[in-house]
Structure 1
Amino acid sequence: MSLVPGRLPHAIAEVMKHVTHMNDATPYRKSGSGQDTRAGQYVVDTMTSFGLDAYLQTFETYDSDLGEAKLEIVSPEHRSMKALACAHIEATPEGGYSSELVDVGPGGLSDYEGKDVRGKIVLAEVSYAPSTPEKARIAAMKGAAGILLMNWGLDDGEDIPWRGLKSVWGNPTPETWKDIPRLFGISISRRDGIAIREMMKAGPVTVKAEVTSIREWRELKQPICWLRAPEYSPERDQFIIVSGHIDSWNPGLTDNITGDAVMMEIARVLAERRDTLRRSVVFCFWNGHEVAEAAGSTYFVDSHWEQINRNAVAYLNIDSVGMKDTNEFHADTCPELSTYVTEAANTVIGDEVPVVIGRLDRFGDQSFFGVGVSAFTGRHGFSPDIVKKYNGATIGWYNHTEHDTIEILDTSVLERDLDYWTRAVAGLATATVLPQRFSPRVADLKARFARMLDGKKDPAELTRITAGLDMLEGDVAWLDAHLDALAAGNAPDAAVARANALSLRLTRQLTFITGSACGKYGQDSYGVSTLHQPVPLLASLNDFDAAAPASLEAKLLTTKLIRLRQTVTDAIEAAHAMIGDLKSSV
Structure 2
Amino acid sequence: MNRIDDLIKKVDADRLMTTAATIAQWERLSGSDGERQAFDYIESVLKDLGFTCQRHDPVCLVSLPGAASLEIVGDPDPIRCITHSFGVSTPADGIELDLTDAGSGSNSDFARAEALGKAVLMDGLATPNSVAPAESFGAAAVIHNSGDQIHEMTISPVWGSPTPSSMQLLPTIPHLSVDKDGAARLREHLEAGRCKVRLSATVETSWKPLPVLLADSPGFDEMLRHVLLSGHVDSWYFGAMDNGSANASMLEVARLMKECQAEMHHGLRLAFWSGHSHARYATSTWYADEYWSFIHHYCIAHVNIDSPGGMGATDLSGASTMAETHRFAEDVFRYVADTDLNYDRIGRLGDQSFWGVGVPSFYCSISQQPPEPTPTGVGALLGRGGGLGWWWHTADDTMDKLDPEFLVRDAKILFATVHALCTEPKIDFDQAGVAREIRATLEDLQRVAGQDLDLTRLIELSRNLEELGTIFRSIELSEEAADEEIALYNGCVTGVSRILIPVNYTVSGEFEQDPAIPGEPLPGLQPMRQLPERRSIPDAYYPWLTKLRRERNRLEQALIESTNLLAQATSIFLMEDDA
TM-score using structure 1 length: 0.90
**Are 2:139 and 1:151 aligned?**
no
The residue identity in structure 2 corresponding to 1:215 is T
Cα distance between partner residues in 1 of 2:116 and 2:280: 26
The equivalent residue for 2:70 is 71
Residue equivalent to 1:552: 539
| Structure 2 Cα separation of the partners of residues 391 and 10 of structure 1 | 29
3-state SS in 2 of match to 1:244: strand
Work out which of the residue numbers 381, 400, 407 in structure 2 matches 1:407.
400
Q: What residue in structure 2 maps to residue 156 of structure 1?
A: none
> Aligned partners of 1:32 and 1:125: how far apart in 2?
31
Contact 2:90–2:174 at 8 Å: present in 1 too? yes
Name the SS of the counterpart of 1:210 in structure 2: strand
* Cα distance in 2 for residues equivalent to 1:306 and 1:279: 18
Describe how 1:111-260 pairs up with structure 2 within 5 A.
111-112=109-110, 114-127=112-125, 132-153=127-148, 159-229=149-219, 236-260=223-247
Q: In structure 2, do the counterparts of structure 1 residues 215 and 70 end up closer, same or farther at CA, with 3 Å as the change threshold? A: same
Equivalent-residue separation in structure 2 for 1:36 and 1:264 (angstroms): 17
SS of aligned partner of 2:510: coil
Contact 1:452–1:535 at 8 Å: present in 2 too? no
How big is the shift at 1:69? 1.3
CA distance in 1, matches of 2:95, 2:200: 6
| 1:460 Cα offset (Å) | 4.5
In 2, Cα distance between the equivalents of 1:543 and 1:4?
A: 50
| C-alpha distance in structure 2 between counterparts of 1:121 and 1:3, whole Å | 61
- Alignment correspondent of 2:292: 305
Shift of 1:321: 0.6
How far residue 230 of structure 1 moved from its aligned partner, in angstroms, is 6.3
* RMSD of Structure 2 on Structure 1 (CA): 2.5
Give the match for residue 20 of structure 1.
21
Give 2:498's aligned amino acid: R
Q: 1:341 maps to what in 2?
A: 329
Which SS does the other structure have where 1:224 is aligned? strand
Aligned partner of 2:129: which letter? Answer: E
Instruction: Output the CA distance in 2 between the equivalents of 1:478 and 1:6.
Output: 34
Q: CA deviation at 1:449?
A: 1.4
1-side partners of 2:448 and 2:220: how far apart? 55
Q: Distance in 1 between matches of 2:2 and 2:547?
A: 45
2:345 equivalent in structure 1? 359
1:196-230: CA deviation from partner (whole Å, max 9, x where unpaired) = 23444444432211222321111111211111446
Match of residue 496 from structure 2: 506
Structure 1 equivalent of residue 517 of structure 2: 527
Question: Partner of 1:100 in structure 2?
Answer: 98
Q: Percent identity?
A: 25
Q: CA deviation at 1:19?
A: 1.3
* Separation of aligned partners in 1, 2:202 and 2:297: 45
1:353-412: CA deviations, max 9, x gaps?
x75542211212111122221111142211222874878461111111111111111101
Deviation at 1:125, TM superposition (A): 3.5
Matched, 1:271 2:272: no
Partner of 2:576: none
3-state SS in 2 of match to 1:579: helix
**Could you list the runs of 5+ residues in structure 2 that have no partner in the other structure?**
380-385, 574-579
SS where residue 328 of structure 1 aligns? coil
Letter in 1 for 2:405: S
CA contact (8 A) 2:525 2:548 kept: yes
Matched to 2:53, the amino acid is A
107 and 569 in structure 1: CA distance in 2 versus 1, 3 angstrom threshold: same
Q: Helix, strand or coil: the match of 1:394?
A: coil
Matched, 1:451 2:474: no
For residues 333 and 421 of structure 2, what CA distance do their matches in structure 1 show? Answer: 14
Query: 1:500 and 1:554 mapped to 2: Cα distance?
Result: 43
Alignment of 1:535-546 (within 5 A): 535-546=522-533
| Residue number among 368, 372, 380 corresponding to 2:354 in the alignment | 368
Q: Point out the more displaced range, 139-148 or 534-543.
A: 534-543
Structure 1 residues 269-304: Cα deviation after superposition (integer angstroms, max 9, x where no partner): 111221111101111111100011010111110011
The alignment partner of 1:122 has SS state of strand
**C-alpha deviation, 1:542, in angstroms:** 3.5
- Whether contact under 8 Å (1:60, 1:217) holds in the other structure is yes
Matched residue, 2:272: 285
Taking the aligned partners of 1:550 and 1:81, their CA distance within structure 2 comes to: 46
1:102–1:524 distance in 2 versus 1, CA, 3 Å: farther
* Number of aligned residue pairs: 564
* Cα distance change on mapping 1:339 and 1:494 into 2, 3 Å: same
Residue 450 of structure 1: how far off its partner (Å) = 1.6
- Partner of 2:54, secondary structure, is strand
Superposition deviation, residue 42 in structure 1? 1.3
- The separation in 2 between residues aligned to 1:162 and 1:578, in whole angstroms, is 46
User: By how many angstroms is 1:82 displaced?
Assistant: 2.0
Q: Which piece of structure 1 moves more, 383-392 or 560-569?
A: 383-392
Match of 2:577 in 1: none
Report the alpha carbon displacement of residue 5 of structure 1 after superposing the two structures with TM. Answer: 6.6
Q: Is contact 1:461-1:562 (8 Å) kept? A: no
In 2, Cα distance between the equivalents of 1:305 and 1:218? 22
| Cα deviation, residue 29, structure 1 | 0.5
Q: In structure 2, which of residues 453, 458, 463 is the aligned counterpart of residue 465 of structure 1?
A: 458
**Structure 2 residue 85 is matched with structure 1 residue 84:** no
**What displacement does 1:458 show?**
4.6
SS of the equivalent of 1:66 reads strand
Counterpart code for 1:16: M
Deviation at 1:470, TM superposition (A): 2.3
Q: What CA distance in whole angstroms lies between the structure 2 residues aligned with 1:379 and 1:224?
A: 23
In structure 2, what residue type is equivalent to 1:310?
A: H
Question: Which shifted more, 552-561 or 178-187?
Answer: 552-561
Call closer, same or farther: CA 1:197–1:376 in 2, change over 3 Å. Answer: farther
Deviation at 1:463, TM superposition (A): 3.0
Secondary structure of 1:470's match? helix
1:184, distance to aligned residue in structure 2 (A):
0.5
What's the offset of the Cα at 1:548? 3.8
In structure 2, distance between residues paired with 1:520 and 1:454: 29
- Quote how far apart the aligned CAs of 1:14 are: 2.2
Q: CA deviation at 1:87?
A: 2.0
Matched to 2:326, the amino acid is S
- Cα 1:132–1:273 change in 2 (3 A) is same
- Which amino acid counterpart does residue 169 of structure 1 have in structure 2? W
Match of 2:383 in 1: none
